[in-house]
C-alpha cells in the first residue's frame, strides 16, 4: 500500500476548499486533481492549488494515479457520484448527507462491500474532544437515568443564501431543508452521543423562505436508552442561535454548544475545567467551517485504507442520520 494517497476533488465550491486545505495539511495525502461540471470552476480551483483540472469526472475516475475522491457536489448528486467512484475502484470521502434517501445510503453500503473500497461520510464534529468526552460519559451512565436527549438547531440563513444557489432549498438536490442540510450535523451528533432513536411525531413547515423544503421543523423522539427527546431545527430564526445538545438525567446534565461543552454536571459537581474554548460561527455563517476536523477524518480514512486503523465513520454511521431525518419527514 502507498504511504501517500492521491486525492481528487469533485465539485469545486465552498466546501471543496476545506477538503483541499485538509489534504494539504496531511503528510499521507496529496491533492492530485479536481473536476467540476463547470470546467471554469475546476480550472480556477486547480490554479489556486497548483494541481490539474480534469475536463470531466469520468476522466478523473479513469486516472489510475487517483486513489481516492472527495465528493463535494450538491447533496442530490452524492449517491450517483459515489457509486461511479466506487465502481471505478476509488475510495471515497463523501460530504454530508451521505445521500438524500435511506434507500440510496443502503445502495452505497452494498457497493462498498462488493468493490471492497472504503467510504467515509464527513461528520467532522465527531472529532471534537468535547463531543467524545460527552459520548463516553453517556456510555458510562454518568448522568443516571436519562430523561431527555435534545437537539436545538435554530440557525439563520438569509434569502440570498438560497436565491444565490442553484441547488440549495430544492427538493431534488438539497433533499430537504433545515434538517437535511444544516440540522444533519446535530442529528448525527445526537445519535452518536445518545444512541439510536425512533420518531414519535414531527411537523415541518416553511414559514419565511421561498423554498421547496422546510425552514423549520420539530420532532419528538424515543431513544433506545429510555429518554425522550426533542429536535428543533430551523434556518429562519434570526439572528441564528448556536446548536445545542442537552443530555439530562437523574444524576446530572450536559449542554454541548456547537461542539464545546458549556455545562457538565455529574452528581452535583461541575466537571468543566475552565473555559472550554470558543464556539464556531456556523449558526449564521455557512462558510465558517474550519479544516482541522476534516483533516482528522481524512487521516483516519487513509490509515483505514492502509490497514492501520479502523474506519471510524463508514457508510453505516453516515446512514444513521439520513434514516432518522427521513422518518421525521415522513410524518
Ligand atoms: N461538512 C460541512 O460542514 C459542510 C459545509 C458545507 C457544505 N457541505 C456539503 O458539501 C456539499 C457541497 O456544498 P457547497 O456549499 O460546497 O456547494 P457549492 O454550491 O458551493 O459547490 C458545489 C460545486 O459542485 C459543482 N457541481 C454541481 N453539480 C455537479 C455535478 N453534477 N458534478 C460535478 N460538479 C458539480 C458546482 O459547480 C459547484 O462548484 C453539499 O452536499 C453540502 O451539504 C458540508
Q: What is the pLDDT of residue 278?
A: 57
| In a shared domain, residues 238 and 301 | no
| In a shared domain, residues 114 and 12 | yes
What digits encode the pLDDT tens for the residues 263-286?
999 999 999 976 455 555 677 777
Q: What is the pLDDT of residue 273?
A: 76
Q: Please list the ranges in the chain whose pLDDT falls under 50.
A: 275
| In a shared domain, residues 111 and 78 | yes
Q: What is the pLDDT of residue 279?
A: 56
State the distance from the centre of ligand 1 to the C-alpha of 330, rounded, in angstroms: 26
CATH of the domain at 79: 3.40.50.720
Structural domains in the chain (count): 2
* Residue located nearest, by CA, to atom 3 of ligand 1: 289
Report yes or no: 322 and 107 within 8 Å, Cβ to Cβ.
no
Q: Is the CB of 74 under 6 A from ligand 1?
A: yes
Q: What is the pLDDT of residue 274?
A: 66
| In a shared domain, residues 132 and 117 | no
| In a shared domain, residues 96 and 242 | no
Q: Mark which of 270, 285, 300 sits at the end of a domain.
A: 285
Q: What is the pLDDT of residue 62?
A: 98
Domain coverage including residue 144: 126-285
pTM score, two decimals? 0.96
| In a shared domain, residues 91 and 9 | yes
- Stated as kind and residue range, the H or E segment containing 34 is strand 29-35
C-alpha grid cell for residue 307? 490497514
Q: What is the pLDDT of residue 300?
A: 98
Q: Is the CB of 92 under 6 A from ligand 1?
A: no
| In a shared domain, residues 212 and 114 | no
Instruction: Indicate the burial class of 166 (C-beta count within 10 angstroms; 0-12, 13-18, 19 or more).
Output: exposed
How far is 321 from 329, CA to CA, in rounded Å?
12
State the distance from the centre of ligand 1 to the C-alpha of 11, rounded, in angstroms: 6
| In a shared domain, residues 141 and 235 | yes
| In a shared domain, residues 138 and 278 | yes
Amino acid at each position: 500500500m502507498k504511504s501517500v494517497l492521491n486525492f481528487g476533488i469533485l465539485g469545486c465550491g465552498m466546501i471543496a476548499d476545506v477538503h483541499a486545505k485538509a489534504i494539504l495539511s496531511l503528510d499521507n495525502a496529496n491533492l492530485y486533481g479536481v473536476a467540476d461540471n463547470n470546467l471554469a470552476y475546476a480550472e480556477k480551483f486547480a490554479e489556486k492549488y497548483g494541481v490539474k483540472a480534469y475536463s470531466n469526472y469520468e476522466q478523473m475516475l479513469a486516472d489510475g494515479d487517483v486513489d481516492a475522491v472527495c465528493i463535494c457536489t450538491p447533496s442530490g448528486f452524492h449517491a450517483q457520484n459515489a457509486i461511479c467512484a466506487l465502481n471505478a475502484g476509488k475510495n471515497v470521502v463523501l460530504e454530508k448527507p451521505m445521500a438524500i434517501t435511506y434507500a440510496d445510503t443502503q445502495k452505497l453500503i452494498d457497493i462498498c462491500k462488493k468493490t471492497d473500497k472504503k467510504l467515509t461520510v464527513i461528520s467532522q464534529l465527531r472529532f471534537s474532544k468535547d463531543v467524545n468526552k460527552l459520548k463516553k460519559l453517556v456510555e458510562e451512565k454518568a448522568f443516571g437515568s436519562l430523561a431527555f436527549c435534545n437537539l436545538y438547531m435554530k440557525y439563520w440563513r438569509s434569502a440570498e443564501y438560497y436565491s444565490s444557489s442553484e441547488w440549495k432549498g430544492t427538493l431534488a438536490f438539497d433533499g430537504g431543508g433545515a434538517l437535511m442540510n444544516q440540522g444533519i450535523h446535530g442529528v448525527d451528533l445526537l445519535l452518536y452521543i445518545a444512541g439510536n432513536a425512533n420518531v414519535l411525531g414531527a411537523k415541518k413547515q416553511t414559514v419565511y423562505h421561498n423554498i421547496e423544503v422546510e425552514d423549520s421543523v420539530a420532532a419528538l423522539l424515543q431513544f433506545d436508552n429510555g429518554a425522550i427527546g426533542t429536535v428543533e431545527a430551523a434556518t429562519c430564526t434570526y439572528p441564528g442561535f448556536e446548536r445545542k445538545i442537552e443530555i439530562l438525567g437523574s444524576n446530572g446534565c450536559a449542554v454541548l454548544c456547537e461542539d464545546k461543552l458549556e455545562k457538565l454536571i455529574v452528581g452535583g459537581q461541575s466537571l468543566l475545567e475552565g473555559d472550554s474554548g470558543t464556539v464556531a460561527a456556523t449558526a449564521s455563517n455557512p462558510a465558517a467551517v474550519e479544516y482541522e476536523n476534516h483533516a482528522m477524518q481524512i487521516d483516519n480514512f487513509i490509515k483505514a485504507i492502509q490497514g492501520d486503523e479502523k474506519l471510524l465513520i463508514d457508510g453505516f454511521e453516515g446512514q444513521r442520520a439520513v434514516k432518522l431525518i427521513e422518518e421525521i419527514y415522513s410524518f
